[in-house]
Amino acid sequence: MKPHDTLPYSLPRLSDEESVARARAMRDRLRERRTCRYFSDEPVPREVIEAAIEAAGTAPNGANHQPWHFAVVASPDKKRAIRLAAEGEERRFYGEDGDDPKASEEWLAALSGLGTDADKPFLETAPFLIVVFGQRKGGLEEDGFTQNYYVNESVGIACGMLIATLHEAGLATLTHTPSPMGFLREACGRPEWEKPVMIVVVGHPSADATVPAKALRKKPLSQIASWL
């Protein structure tokens, strides 16, 4: 390593048994998470959203530029505007506008079993929409011109930490990605060097919420890992 300013770093040392137990406990908590498409309008404390965004803001990222912005939408008018714009895009995607679907047949077949269509009521029902932006430029000072690095990777990790924290707080989430989603930049008043990455819909599941059975099938460890 080259000389640089440093601070000491250590972690509480766990026994191997404790380490394994904690990893398994975390795995089991995360296994309870489901992508939920049915939300109640019950409010959730703003403090939960604030803490989850602070957690996301600790994510590893390119050159510590922290190239993300989280626009939290709670206003009914804004949520409605986002819903209407998103549903417009989705109608074109699914071909519900009368034209050929923008999605390929293969893509639509891949979605079968999830039950999705152009209707996105949750964008209005859920108490919070967190619109996540990646900052292509800006650096730590958000000056709008310094180059950022590994923006997609950094924002993806931050979203994972955001979702994990919201799940730990007992809330349901949905990662929603209308395509194209350029309209979100204007809806949230964000600058042109930021690109919308996803909407994280947050709230309590509705009393009659369901999840698609198809999504319960998870690949086993033997399939997703190799040991070299």
In the complex, the residues that contact ligand IYR under the rule CB under 6 A are: 90, 93, 111, 114, 116, 176-179
Using CB atoms, what's the residue nearest to ligand IYR? Answer: 116
Instruction: Specify the residue, 135 or 174, whose C-beta has the smaller distance to ligand IYR.
Output: 174
**Which residue lies nearer to ligand IYR by CB, 37 or 65?**
37
Q: Which CB atom, from 96 or from 168, has the smaller least distance to ligand IYR?
A: 96
181, 183, 223: which is closest to 198 by C-alpha? 181
Q: Are 227 and 102 in contact (CB under 8 A)?
A: no
The residue (of 116 and 125) whose beta carbon lies closer to ligand IYR is 116
How far apart are CB 114 and ligand IYR at their closest, in Å?
A: 6
Q: Which is nearer to ligand IYR, 20 or 110 (CB)?
A: 110
- Cβ burial, residue 88 (10 Å; 0-12/13-18/19+): middle
State whether residue 157 is helix, strand or coil. helix
Q: For the CB of residue 46, give the shortest distance to ligand IYR in the complex, in Å.
A: 26
Q: How far is the CB of 89 from ligand IYR (least distance, A)?
A: 8
**Smallest gap from residue 156 Cβ to ligand IYR (A):** 15
The 8-class DSSP code of residue 49 comes to H
**Residue owning tokens 């395509």:** 179
Residues 6+ apart with CB under 8 A from 154: 59, 60, 61, 62, 65, 66, 67, 68, 134
CB of 56 to ligand IYR, least distance (A): 21
